[in-house]
């Protein structure tokens, strides 16, 4: 591809897009306000599935399913290219009651890999919970490692990464983006891609049209066991426990509509810890290792916007992935690349154009 692109925002959406563009021969520069991969993409849990897939519309599960399909090969590609192991692992997810058994049953019928079992507390180190659903194909990845691998790979493919560079204005002339104004001066390119997560609407400014992407805070807790107490991800309502191979256990998360406030709160820490103890009593003796918050790029019905701007044909967006931006990343990059290069889409992408509101 003989063109150059500026990507605004260096999270998983920006880096995965950069990787695929570079592999097509484009010249790519990523402009990142802070340091690469330190916002929502770092803060997330790395579950590669919607929490209860039957609760989401097809537009969401189509993209998460395609993302999950692509992930294993993507993780291998990154490992081979960089030596960084993202710890992609099909650890399975146990969904504890209460959940909508009828909708879950229909989902299981359509996806033969699910099963509903009586959970035996002794098998899972959990307090007795009644009939649970096991989703064996759900995988996970370790976010900081994924970001490190992507960052290294983008650099090794010749991508230029400029950190501490905040985009403050998109300059439009003759129905094209002409340049962007940043804290490090003006930049221009043939194509511009906004992947600024929860800040995408602000970055687009007047060009956001009716886009509705806003921050939604999520807090996470981290514990360290000598030996992992769980074999699978465990989910109850919107509380989840994610075991890592080396004994770390993540507990998440909250959904807080508090604007761009990224502070953690004692209230959320106590709520998450107490709820998790009701499932896994051994947590009461543990010391909290870390507590953090991240801002998800929230969009209506969790449907992201991916593709060309309706009025400016050298401006693109890949954002608004809300709760599932890591899962959706490889599929979203694929959709955007297909659009840019004119390759036929593998999915119906109409829903991912609707977010502009026109
Ligand atoms: C607590 C929590 C748990 C989650 N768990 C999961 C999960 O288990 N599975 C899953 O799939 N997803 C999960 N998510 C969601 C997922 O993390 C996000 O959807 C995804 O990371 C969004 O990626 P992004 O690249 O769009 O945004 P970000 O990672 O936020 O990246 C956007 C980047 O743009 C930069 N930027 C912003 N403004 C500017 C500017 N003006 N100029 C230059 N750069 C700018 C930011 O600094 C940032 O680095 C979770 C999120 C949170 C917060």
Beta pairing, strands 191-194 & 185-187:
unpaired
Measure Cα distances from 79 to 67, 83, 147 in Å: 18, 5, 12
Question: Residue holding tokens 């097509």?
Answer: 24
- Order of strands across the sheet that contains 191-194: 160-162, 27-31, 4-8, 191-194, 315-319, 305-308
259-271 pLDDT, tens digit per residue, is: 999 999 999 999 9
79 pLDDT band (50/70/90 cuts)?
very high
Report the separation in Å between the CA atom of 130 and the middle of ligand 1, taken as the mean of its atom positions.
35
**For residue 336, what are its two tokens?**
């955007």
Phi-psi region of 64 (alpha: psi -120 to 50; beta: other; left: phi over 0): alpha
d(Cα 53, Cα 107) in Å, to the nearest integer? 8
Higher pLDDT, 2 or 153: 153
Query: Which residues contact ligand 1 via a Cβ below 6 A?
Result: 8-14, 31-34, 39-41, 43-47, 166-167, 195-199, 203, 218, 220, 252-253, 294, 296-297, 319, 321-327
134 close to 91: Cβ distance less than 8 angstroms: no
pLDDT of residue 260: 98
Element (H, E) at 181: strand 176-182
The residue contributing the CA closest to ligand 1 atom 35 is 9
pLDDT of residue 340: 97
- Rounded to the nearest 10 degrees, the angle between the axes of helix 143-156 and helix 12-23 is 30
d(Cα 144, Cα 149) in Å, to the nearest integer? 9
- Chain mean pLDDT for the chain: 94
**pLDDT at position 111 over 80:** no
Nearest to 21 by CA among 316, 346, 303: 316
pLDDT of residue 358: 81
Question: Residue holding tokens 């990154």?
Answer: 78
**pLDDT at position 116 over 70:** no
Structural domains in the chain, sorted by start: 4-79+143-213+300-356 (3.50.50.60), 93-136+215-297 (3.30.9.10)
pLDDT of residue 112: 67
- Segment 186-202 shows an average pLDDT of 98
- Segment 24-29 shows an average pLDDT of 97
**pLDDT at position 117 over 90:** no
pLDDT of residue 239: 97
Burial call 106-116: b when 16+ CB within 10 Å, e when fewer:
ebbeeeeebee
Q: What letter does residue 46 receive in the DSSP assignment?
A: -
Higher pLDDT, 80 or 113: 80
**pLDDT at position 103 over 80:** yes
Report the separation in Å between the CA atom of 40 and the middle of ligand 1, taken as the mean of its atom positions.
3
- Segment 19-43 shows an average pLDDT of 98
Element (H, E) at 148: helix 143-156
Report the separation in Å between the CA atom of 219 and the middle of ligand 1, taken as the mean of its atom positions.
13
**For residue 255, what are its two tokens?**
């959904």
Computed on alpha carbons and rounded to an integer, the radius of gyration of the chain in Å comes to: 20
204-253 pLDDT, tens digit per residue, is: 999 999 999 999 999 999 999 999 999 999 999 999 999 999 999 999 99
**pLDDT at position 183 over 80:** yes
Question: Residue holding tokens 């962007």?
Answer: 180
Task: Out of 135-139, 193-197, 211-215, pick the least confident.
Answer: 135-139
Task: Out of 10-19, 94-103, 162-171, pick the least confident.
Answer: 94-103
Higher pLDDT, 17 or 136: 17
pLDDT of residue 251: 98
pLDDT of residue 115: 67
The residue contributing the CA closest to ligand 1 atom 21 is 41
Measure Cα distances from 332 to 32, 69, 97, 133, 305 in Å: 20, 13, 32, 29, 9
């Amino acid at each position: 591809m003989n063109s150059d692109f500026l990507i605004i925002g260096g999270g998983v959406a920006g880096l995965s897009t950069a990787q695929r563009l570079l592999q097509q021969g484009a010249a790519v520069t990523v402009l990142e306000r802070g340091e690469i991969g330190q916002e929502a993409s770092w803060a997330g849990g790395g579950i590669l599935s919607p929490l209860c897939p039957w609760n989401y519309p097809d537009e969401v599960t189509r993209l998460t399913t395609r993302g999950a399909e692509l992930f294993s090969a993507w993780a291998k590609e990154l490992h081979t290219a960089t030596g960084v192991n993202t710890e992609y692992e099909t650890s399975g997810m146990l969904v504890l009651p209460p959940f909508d058994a009828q909708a879950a049953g229909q989902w299981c019928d359509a996806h033969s890999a699910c099963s509903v079992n009586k959970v035996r507390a002794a098998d899972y180190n959990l307090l007795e919970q009644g009939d649970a659903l096991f989703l064996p194909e759900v995988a996970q990845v370790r976010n900081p490692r994924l970001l490190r691998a992507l960052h290294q790979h983008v650099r090794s493919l010749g991508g230029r990464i400029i950190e501490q560079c905040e985009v403050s204005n998109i300059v439009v002339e003759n129905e094209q983006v002409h340049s962007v104004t940043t804290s490090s001066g003006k930049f221009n390119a043939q194509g511009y891609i906004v992947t600024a997560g929860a800040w995408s609407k602000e970055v687009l400014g007047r060009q956001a049209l009716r886009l509705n992407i806003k921050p939604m805070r999520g807090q996470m807790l981290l514990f360290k066991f000598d030996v992992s107490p769980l074999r699978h991800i465990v989910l109850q309502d919107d509380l989840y426990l994610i075991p890592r191979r080396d004994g770390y256990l993540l507990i998440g998360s909250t959904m807080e509509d508090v604007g761009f406030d990224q502070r953690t709160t004692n209230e959320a820490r106590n709520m998450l810890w107490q709820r998790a103890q009701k499932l896994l009593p051994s947590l009461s003796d543990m010391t909290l290792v870390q507590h953090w918050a991240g801002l998800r790029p929230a969009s209506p019905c969790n449907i992201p916007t991916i593709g060309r701007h309706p009025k400016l044909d050298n401006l693109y967006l890949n954002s608004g992935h809300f709760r599932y931006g890591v899962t959706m990343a490889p599929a979203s990059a694929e959709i955007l690349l297909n659009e840019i290069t004119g390759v036929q889409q593998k999915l119906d992408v109409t829903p991912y154009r609707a977010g502009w509101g026109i």
